[in-house]
């Protein structure tokens, strides 16, 4: 990739790239298949070191992994929403991020769990918080000679969990009109929220880290009032457009609805999560 610069393009599952090449949207002269590099295919979790999720791990392997389902249920459900089972057998979370779509399902879920992307190239390697990775629709911080190796994700704190939901017009095989991911940590003594992260998809040119929405929850009990404040802040953080999938007004409404739902779901999961 260093030799060919922007004439080369990485491929993990190819479920975006091959379609874009067929449509003439991207015309790389060289396609570099990363799937056989072992570091890109591993899922490794320990309480001490957290999660290392290889960039090329197919979504289906994420769903089949017991640690993923237990410790990162929101990220796991986001990966399990991509396309169909056939698509999930190829599609990777790395490709989902590097494709740079504002509607990509796993990006809000990755931001919610504070994932960092480990990027490597001839100049060395760097760790990029996922919320800083996408710069415009279809564009990322990656240089042409850089590849994404893996995601590094912290061990969830005790009494915490995550959730992701999206709205699509049909049951499957569609692109998010709105997607919302949240991670919540509770104090088991009084059920107050001690930490939160909320992220939005498909309502701006890049996925949005809705810091103010999370701040509306921290220090509060998660009752209707605090959750409504978070939903209002998430709506205010969104900047959707009108398109064939929905109007901006409709999308803003759905941001509020989904924010309420994912915050409640993540909190329910956090309450039953074992003290880790």
- The helix (H) or strand (E) run that includes residue 181 is strand 178-187
Handedness of CA 258, 238, 168, 11 (dihedral sign): negative
81 contacts ligand FAD (rule: CB under 6 A): yes
Burial of 3 (0-12, 13-18, 19+ CB in 10 A): exposed
Which residues 6+ apart lie within 8 Å of 262 measured at CB?
Answer: 74, 163, 164, 165, 180, 181, 182, 198
**Closest separation in Å from C-beta 82 to ligand FAD:** 4
95 contacts ligand FAD (rule: CB under 6 A): yes
17 contacts ligand FAD (rule: CB under 6 A): yes
98 contacts ligand FAD (rule: CB under 6 A): yes
Among 65, 96, 160, 235, binds ligand FAD (CB under 6 A): 96
Q: Between 148 and 273, whose beta carbon lies closer to ligand FAD?
A: 148
**Closest separation in Å from C-beta 25 to ligand FAD:** 10
Which residues 6+ apart lie within 8 Å of 102 measured at CB?
Answer: 134, 137, 201, 202, 203, 204, 205, 206, 207
Q: Could you give the 3-state DSSP secondary structure of residue 242? A: coil
Among 147, 178, 202, 266, binds ligand FAD (CB under 6 A): 147
82 contacts ligand FAD (rule: CB under 6 A): yes
12 contacts ligand FAD (rule: CB under 6 A): yes
Task: In whole angstroms, give the CA distance from residue 47 to residue 208.
Answer: 28
**Closest separation in Å from C-beta 244 to ligand FAD:** 17
**Closest separation in Å from C-beta 104 to ligand FAD:** 4
Region for residue 2 given its phi and psi (left: phi exceeds 0; alpha: psi -120 to 50; beta: otherwise): alpha
Q: How many residues bind ligand FAD (CB under 6 A)?
A: 30
Among 68, 113, 148, 217, binds ligand FAD (CB under 6 A): 148
Among 57, 62, 68, 104, binds ligand FAD (CB under 6 A): 104
Binding-residue pattern over the window 176 to 215 for ligand FAD, x denoting contact by CB under 6 A: ----------------------------------------
Task: In whole angstroms, give the CA distance from residue 174 to residue 95.
Answer: 17
Alpha helices in 103-244 (DSSP H): 106-112, 211-215, 224-237
Residues 42-71 that bind ligand FAD (CB under 6 A): 55
161 contacts ligand FAD (rule: CB under 6 A): no
The closest of 199, 202, 195, 220 to 211, measured between CA atoms, is 199
Axis-axis angle for helices 224-237, 248-272 (nearest 10): 140
Of 3-11, 42-50, 62-70, 234-242, the segment contacting ligand FAD by CB under 6 A is 3-11
The closest of 94, 31, 34 to 61, measured between CA atoms, is 94
Residues 125-144 that bind ligand FAD (CB under 6 A): 142
Q: Which residues bind ligand FAD (CB under 6 A)?
A: 9-17, 19, 34, 55, 81-83, 87, 90-92, 94-96, 98-99, 104-105, 142, 147-148, 173
């Amino acid at each position: 990739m260093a030799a060919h610069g922007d004439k080369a393009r990485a491929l993990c599952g190819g479920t975006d790239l091959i379609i874009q090449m067929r449509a003439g949207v991207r015309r790389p002269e060289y396609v570099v298949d990363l799937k056989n590099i072992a570091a890109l295919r591993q899922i490794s979790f320990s309480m001490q070191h957290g999660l290392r999720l290889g960039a090329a791990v197919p979504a289906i392997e994420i769903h089949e992994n017991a640690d993923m389902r237990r410790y990162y249920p929101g990220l796991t459900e986001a990966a399990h929403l991509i396309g169909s089972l056939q698509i999930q057998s190829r599609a990777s979370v790395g490709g989902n991020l590097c494709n740079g779509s504002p509607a990509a399902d796993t990006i809000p879920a990755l931001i919610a769990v504070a994932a960092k992307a480990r990027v490597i190239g001839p100049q060395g390697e760097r760790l990029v918080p996922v919320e800083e990775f996408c710069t415009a629709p279809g564009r990322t911080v990656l240089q042409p000679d850089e590849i994404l190796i893996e995601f590094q994700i912290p061990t969830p704190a005790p009494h915490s969990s995550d959730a992701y939901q999206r709205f699509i017009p049909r049951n499957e095989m569609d692109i998010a009109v709105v997607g919302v991911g949240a991670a919540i940590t509770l104090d088991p003594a009084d059920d107050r929220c001690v930490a939160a992260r909320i992220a939005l998809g498909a309502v701006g040119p890049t996925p949005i880290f809705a810091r103010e929405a999370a701040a509306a929850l921290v220090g509060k009990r998660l009752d209707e009032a605090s959750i409504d404040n978070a939903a209002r802040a998430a709506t205010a953080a969104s900047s959707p457009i009108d398109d064939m999938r929905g109007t901006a007004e409709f999308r803003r409404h759905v941001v509020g609805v989904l924010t309420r739902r994912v915050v409640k779901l993540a909190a329910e999961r956090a309450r039953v999560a074992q003290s880790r």
